[in-house]
Amino acid sequence: MTVVDDSIPVITVDGPTASGKGTVAHRVADELGFHYLDSGALYRLTALASARHGIDPDDVSALAVLAETLDVRFRDQRIWLAGEDVTDAIRAEAIGNRASSIAVHKAVRQALRALQRGFKTAPGLVADGRDMGTVIFPEADLKVFLTATPQARAERRYKQLIEKGFSANIDSLMLDLEARDARDRTRAEAPLRPAEGARVLDTSGLNVDQAVAQVLEWFAQVQYPQGA
């Protein structure tokens, strides 16, 4: 039985690729002085480690063992895998696509569950991903689901990749993004969908400040309901 500590507040921010959830969730965590969990990074780390070990994306038991024993450290905004700084390496599109392929496996998702729950420590947590509100933190105080048009998301991803020194092409990014979304939405295990009671925010026409302000306003509303 899972013992749920309800005294530690949790905000979940789920949504499709490049909907802005990472940037928004990170900023909200900073504003509130909360911890931040980038759950996609764990799937990307498993993907990178599996590629390096030559593990097939369908070898479920080898992948689950790898996920369960990931030697990962998050420090100073950098991500370390077995002592190597892989912060930029895990952002490559090929690793994102491989992450999406291995994320369909129930055993892999279960192997990463405890690691994710471990991020729930005082004074609070903002967690972003695909199933933060539906599966990993169903008790969250506030659940947000971010969306944006495929065009807006492809443009964002293009900018992110170019800034990190990767080459990119908008049209092929859009195709990749739609294929990845389709896989994330239609998989049997923890499909991408808004959690019950989630507040949906379309970020297509919003800048980061506006999206962050909206999430903080919603959080203030749940913390201090009118009339309470």
Q: Which residues bind ligand C5P (CB under 6 A)?
A: 17, 39-40, 43-44, 96, 99-100, 103, 129-131, 180, 184
23 is in an annotated binding site: yes
Annotated binding-site residue? 15: yes
Nearest approach in angstroms of CB 7 to ligand C5P is: 24
204 is in an annotated binding site: no
Least separation in angstroms between residue 225's CB and ligand C5P is: 28
Nearer to ligand C5P by C-beta: 9 or 38? 38
Shortest distance in whole angstroms from residue 89 CB to ligand C5P: 13
Across-strand partners of 37?
A: 127
Is 7 annotated in some ligand binding site? Answer: no
Our CB check for ligand C5P shows the closer of 196 and 217 to be 196
Q: Rounded to whole angstroms, how far apart are CA atoms 221 and 201? A: 16
21 is in an annotated binding site: yes
Q: Which is nearer to ligand C5P, 27 or 44 (CB)?
A: 44
Shortest approach of ligand C5P to residue 112 CB, angstroms?
8
Q: Which is nearer to ligand C5P, 184 or 212 (CB)?
A: 184
Between 9 and 133, name the residue whose CB sits nearer to ligand C5P.
133
Q: How far apart are CA 108 and CA 57, in angstroms?
A: 11
Is 101 marked as binding a ligand?
no
- CB of residue 104 vs ligand C5P: minimum separation in angstroms? 8
What does the block give as tokens for 127? 């967690």
119, 35 in Cβ contact below 8 A? yes
With 0-12 / 13-18 / 19 or more C-beta atoms within 10 angstroms meaning exposed / middle / buried, residue 46 is: buried
Residue 110 Cα distances to 25, 47, 67, 113, 189, angstroms:
23, 15, 9, 5, 10
